[in-house]
Amino acid sequence: MAVNPMQILKIKDQLKAFTGRHPGFTSFIRAIRRKGLPEDSVLDLTITTPDGKTMSTNLRLSAEDIAFVRTISELGK
């Protein structure tokens, strides 16, 4: 699969805008990066919709998942 440089720039711009809108999330990610994210950590996600319904899932992070998250986080630099 070829990488489109324009898509990378678009993602980088969107990530910068997201971090500007959600600075608390950015601080949370920085804290995780400082502490480290070991393999087999479990990420729990819960979404609450405006009408109060929730959806939840979790995933156990592999070494490949952690490397992917690290790559994504470096796009915003």
pLDDT tens column, 54-68: 999 999 999 999 888
pLDDT tens column, 17-43: 998 999 998 888 888 888 888 999 999
Confidence class for position 1, pLDDT limits 50, 70, 90: low
Confidence class for position 69, pLDDT limits 50, 70, 90: confident
List phi, psi (to 5°) of 55.
-135, 135
The 8-class DSSP code of residue 61 comes to: P
Three-class DSSP category at 46: strand
The 8-class DSSP code of residue 6 comes to: H
Tell me the whole-structure pTM to 2 decimals.
Answer: 0.59
